Structure 1
Amino acid sequence: MPEEDLETVQRELTGTRAERDALRRELGDLRAWLCIELGIGRAEPSRHESTDLGVATDAEIVGEVRRLRDELARCTSAEETDDRRWSGIDVLIMDGRRIHAVQAVRTEFGTSLQLAVELLSERYTRLRRRYPDRFGESADTYWDGFRSF
């Protein structure tokens, strides 16, 4: 192989190694950032790898992401279940049928009268923010004559 070809191959090899090393550094940074954000890490590297202390393996990172995804799915399904429980009550609230809404809250959630009124008030506030145009009464008059106890 001529001397010039050998130098060209060595330059290309050096460039390729530099790109590979830069990519490894970026991946190492990404792993470290993910570990920080996910709140995971390892006390010490395994004896078969040269890993920085505190940086989890790819499998550990992916495992934590899966755990968080599953937890989010459970929370989301719980919120959907809660929304289904409130859907009929929401209609009563937005129609201004407060007494019926209190009765429905007590029936659905098995609460005391006072807690039902508190839950109704919290739900009203949430619905008023979320759907301000869907109410039959204005916010100024909604509770008139109702909160006397």
Structure 2
Amino acid sequence: MKKRNGPFLTCEGNYPNQMNNVIITPDILSYGQQVFVMFTGYRSVSVELGATCEIEIQRDDGLSILQTTTNFCYNSIGINCPLGPGDTQITISFPMPLTGPPTQQTPPTTNQTATPAHTYSMAFSIKNADQSYLSCVVGFVDVA
């Protein structure tokens, strides 16, 4: 499953709020760049002030290239918490780290001009201020 060829899927478990139509931009994430997560959905449980987003991007070998928690209310564009039940359309932003973890790469050739993108798994979840999970999705992103 590629990021643009298949949807992000709900994580295993029970989550009261739905996240649908998850879109990650830019298409290829780069270190030091701002990332945007856009989604629609339905809230059956209110999102309270102090809610957080947990983001993890992981290589196939299990090494995390990004593992961060960010303030949902502060980093959501154009919304104010608390958010009561109802339909939702939200965009959240977070920064990629300036550098990635060490990798084993072949030495660049003289004709190589760009870093190739690699596909990694991504988990994105939202927790309320009381630490209860509201939503969680998993999918794939490309990182260069």
State the TM-score, normalized to the length of structure 2.
0.19
Higher relative contact order (CA 8 A, sep 6+): 2
State the TM-score, normalized to the length of structure 1.
0.19
Answer with 1 or 2: which has the greater Rg.
Answer: 1
More strand by share: 2
